[in-house]
Chains A and B, each alone.
Chain A
Amino acid sequence: MAGKAAFFDVDGTLVRTNIVHAFAYYAMNEGSLRATALRTAATAVTSPLLWGLDKLSRKGFNHFFYGYYRGMSEDRLRLLAADLFDDVLRDALYPGALDLIAEARRASCRLVLVTGALDFTMEPLRRHLGADDLIANRMQFANGVATGRVVPPIVEGAHKAKAIRDYCVRHDLALDQSFAYSDSASDYPMLALVGRPTAVNPDLRLRSLARSYEWPILDVR
């Protein structure tokens, strides 16, 4: 008999931070005062654009936003990722997130984090939560330096659903017996794909969708 999995979106679902927080942390710890100032200022100036882009298209937002990473050193990013977890992510975990993960584990689910964040940022969190796998965006590096482009297809929206489908095929998991958890209506494709979708700390649109489709609604904050 095929097994089952629980797929968790991360930002806003398990932790209160998002990809902007992670980038801000990297930018603030660039190593030189000038580089820190430049990246921080550039992010601040374009923040209204980022906000608008996120509302318009999550895919466009991710594509544009990851451009900020261009020129950052791979070694330093990986080093900072461990610090980011210790300094920010660990404390940003919602109080009920660990319970939810434990309950999914007790239900014999394979635990998978599915996120639009970058893989090296999420890896320490995956280990901390004891998740079996991580589906995340991967930054392209050339000669040890970030190009600002992620390996396509970018993990968001419809592609999260495709990644989950492919994952279930690879691991002989039953989609209709599997669970998915997200806080955002942008993850509708992933939630609609599995047999057991759940809205977690949902935004207004997702709350409305969850009510319409009679999906359970959790609050782990």
Chain B
Amino acid sequence: MATPKPALPSLRSLAKRALRPQSRPPREEEELVVTIDRDSAPRVLFFGEDLWLCDLPVGTRVVYPRRPMAAAPNPKATIRWALNHPEGSDPFHAKLRPGMKVTIALDDISLPLPPMRTPDVRQLVLEIVLEQLADAGVDDVHLVIANSLHRRMTPGEMRRMVGDRIFEAFYPERYYNHDAEDPDGIVELEKTSHGELVAVNRRAAESDLLVYVNLNLVPMDGGHKSVGVGLCNYASLRAHHTPHTIRDSHGYMDPAKSALHRSTDRIGRVIDQNLDVFHIETVVNNRMFDGPLAFLGKNEDRYGEFDRLKLEAMRHTLAKLPRAAKRKIFHSVPAGYELVAAYAGATEPCHEKTLATTFQQYLVPVHGQSDVVIAGIPYISPYNVNSILNPLLVQVMGLGYLFNLFRGEPLVKKGGTIILTHPCPDEFDPEHHPSYIEFFHRLLPETRDAVELHRKYEREFAENPSYVHLYRKGNAYHGAHPFFMWYWGENGRQHVGRVIVAGAENTHVPALLGWEHAETLDDAIEMARGYHGRSASITLFHSPPILMAEVTA
């Protein structure tokens, strides 16, 4: 009897398979959490612009990021699919009519980290969207960088993000940075049910259609936060960028348990009631290091001879260079991020899908919290692309981002110890972070109490005409931004018992941050054991690349 031929898959299902994110094979699960034994290789930790090679105590648990998810085989087709099959909305082309006024808002340079190899995903999206707009007879199009109170992007950075062709066609009249301090450039909508002020960029508010092009790196990004934060002003941002909101957030990488997101959701819903917003959210994998640096994402026990050679060569070279040169080198190496998925449509259903894919890339199951968590602080954060990771940003990386990269429970126990590795130089970039300098040297010696700082000084910094001018005309973060950075570490600060920074080249920076100081990682671990006992559980959070610990009891 002839064997029946298997039914051929339909073209539609083939397309879906090609365009939708692929889950990783389960064989990697056992590699995500490893325990150090006597034969384990030393671990590589970021130490600012250097790499530390550290032997960890036997029994230390090391949590690794997942391998990068498979890239979409055809990124442009993936984006087109999303535009034609949006969530909770008509297809993009069906929303267009000749002569309409359209504003396209774009995530700024804080995403992804480091900036990705060109073409940037935003360029790919824009090339498709602008083509469809032109085909539909829509000529009144502006591109606005949704930088909120972040620094303005430079023309060079703007060009890199969208490519030469779009830059030449739109810059500077129709491609520019949002200005949260432009008295004529903001429109206030009605307040939320909780009394939160809702303010939006005037051009966006007065457009027939607002398209938001997002690049979702971590679960904190995207959704209602895109427009509600990216295109708002200081008065609106103050509704949720407060120490109280962050304290009330169990973790701000888990939007379901974040008071910050509850507030931005309320604001976003008001915006959606007043504006026609079409979101295009893109998810990239966590291929932060590839090519010759790919070994940095690997388990050290799996290093080959060539990996070890590259590591030693890199450490040797870095040790010989001044910090500024090392910084220049690191910032000039783009990441190999790849698009894994794109979703489009109405804010909430679109973002729900984005979040699911993001969690799929980042979540690593971890059983039980730890007394001591060790983390290496790298050279980069969302707020120092092409700049210096100053002490306040070291703080936000440690107690803000790394602490909050969990779902369920924090990786470190309540009252536990976080050990960070960073040299903590007293170094600031006066062009990008002028108000940080005053915050660090004038305010922190007086108090580290976030509520007190918020009450006494935030408005003064926000309204300082020099800082306002530097934000509007230069490339400086807003005067209030260092406060937000301090609040960003607030739930971490409230949760942990102490922070020890290993390798700090001075004692006053850790002291001003309220941290303890140790010469080496071994010393820091000994200090932590002094608090928690010899049997203290220790976990190394092996990031970057990014991961989120899904901690269960």
On A, residues with C-beta under 8 Å from B are 6, 96, 99-100, 102-104, 106-109, 177, 179, 181, 196, 198, 211, 214, 216-220
With an 8 A cutoff between CB atoms, is B467 at the interface?
yes
18 more contacts with CB within 8 A, not counting A218-B466, A219-B473, are A6-B465, A99-B469, A99-B473, A100-B465, A102-B183, A103-B181, A103-B465, A103-B469, A106-B468, A107-B465, A109-B465, A177-B460, A179-B464, A181-B466, A198-B466, A216-B467, A218-B474, A220-B469
The CA of A6 and the CA of B463, in the complex, are separated in Å by 13
Q: Which of B466, B468, B469, B473 contacts A196 (CB 8 A)?
A: B466
Q: Which residues of A contact B473 (CB under 8 A)?
A: 96, 99, 218-220
Interface residues in B421-462 by Cβ distance below 8 A to A read 428, 430, 434, 437-438, 441, 460
B441 and A104 form a contact (CB under 8 A) = no
Q: Which of B438, B464, B466, B470 contacts A214 (CB 8 A)?
A: B438
B468 and A103 form a contact (CB under 8 A) = yes
The CA of A96 and the CA of B471, in the complex, are separated in Å by 13
The CA of A196 and the CA of B472, in the complex, are separated in Å by 19
Q: Which residues of B contact A104 (CB under 8 A)?
A: 465
B469 and A179 form a contact (CB under 8 A) = no
Q: Which residues of B contact A179 (CB under 8 A)?
A: 464-466
The CA of A211 and the CA of B473, in the complex, are separated in Å by 19
Which 9 A-B residue pairings sit nearest by Cβ, starting from the closest? Answer: A103-B465, A104-B465, A198-B466, A107-B463, A216-B466, A103-B468, A216-B434, A214-B437, A107-B465
B469 and A106 form a contact (CB under 8 A) = no
Known: A96-B473, A103-B469. A196 touches B430 (CB 8 A): no
Q: Can you give 19 A-B contacts (C-beta < 8 A)?
A: A96-B473, A99-B469, A100-B469, A103-B181, A103-B465, A103-B468, A103-B472, A106-B463, A107-B463, A107-B468, A214-B430, A216-B430, A216-B434, A217-B430, A217-B434, A218-B469, A218-B473, A218-B474, A220-B469
The CA of A158 and the CA of B437, in the complex, are separated in Å by 27
Q: Which residues of A contact B430 (CB under 8 A)?
A: 211, 214, 216-217
Q: Which of A99, A181, A214 contacts B472 (CB 8 A)?
A: A99
Q: A-side binding surface: helix, strand, loop or mixed? A: mixed
The CA of A216 and the CA of B465, in the complex, are separated in Å by 11
Q: Which residues of A contact B472 (CB under 8 A)?
A: 99, 103
Q: Which residues of A contact B460 (CB under 8 A)?
A: 177
Q: Which residues of B contact A107 (CB under 8 A)?
A: 463-465, 468
A96 and B183 form a contact (CB under 8 A) = no
Distance of B458 from chain A, by nearest CB (Å): 14
Q: Which residues of B contact A108 (CB under 8 A)?
A: 463
Q: Which of A196, A217, A219 contacts B464 (CB 8 A)?
A: A196
The CA of A108 and the CA of B460, in the complex, are separated in Å by 11
The CA of A216 and the CA of B181, in the complex, are separated in Å by 18
The CA of A196 and the CA of B466, in the complex, are separated in Å by 9
A219 and B474 form a contact (CB under 8 A) = yes
Q: Which residues of A contact B434 (CB under 8 A)?
A: 216-217
Distance of B497 from chain A, by nearest CB (Å): 33
Q: Which residues of B contact A181 (CB under 8 A)?
A: 466
A218 and B470 form a contact (CB under 8 A) = yes
Closest Cβ neighbor of A219 among chain B residues = B474
The CA of A103 and the CA of B180, in the complex, are separated in Å by 13
The CA of A211 and the CA of B470, in the complex, are separated in Å by 15
The CA of A216 and the CA of B469, in the complex, are separated in Å by 10
The CA of A205 and the CA of B439, in the complex, are separated in Å by 25
Q: Which residues of A contact B428 (CB under 8 A)?
A: 214
Distance of A174 from chain B, by nearest CB (Å): 11
Q: Which residues of A contact B464 (CB under 8 A)?
A: 107, 179, 196
Q: Which residues of B contact A220 (CB under 8 A)?
A: 469, 473
The CA of A106 and the CA of B471, in the complex, are separated in Å by 15
Q: Which residues of B contact A99 (CB under 8 A)?
A: 469, 472-473
Distance of B425 from chain A, by nearest CB (Å): 15
Q: Which residues of B contact A196 (CB under 8 A)?
A: 464, 466
Q: Which residues of B contact A219 (CB under 8 A)?
A: 473-474
The CA of A219 and the CA of B470, in the complex, are separated in Å by 9
A214 and B469 form a contact (CB under 8 A) = no
Distance of B456 from chain A, by nearest CB (Å): 12
Q: Which residues of B contact A6 (CB under 8 A)?
A: 465
Q: Which residues of B contact A216 (CB under 8 A)?
A: 430, 434, 466-467, 470
Distance of A208 from chain B, by nearest CB (Å): 12
Q: Which residues of B contact A214 (CB under 8 A)?
A: 428, 430, 437-438, 441
Distance of B66 from chain A, by nearest CB (Å): 43
Distance of B426 from chain A, by nearest CB (Å): 11
Distance of B197 from chain A, by nearest CB (Å): 17
The CA of A107 and the CA of B464, in the complex, are separated in Å by 7
Distance of B436 from chain A, by nearest CB (Å): 10
Q: What mask results when residues 168 to 201 of chain B are scored 1 for a CB within 8 Å of chain A, else 0? A: 0000000000000101000000000000000000
The CA of A106 and the CA of B430, in the complex, are separated in Å by 24
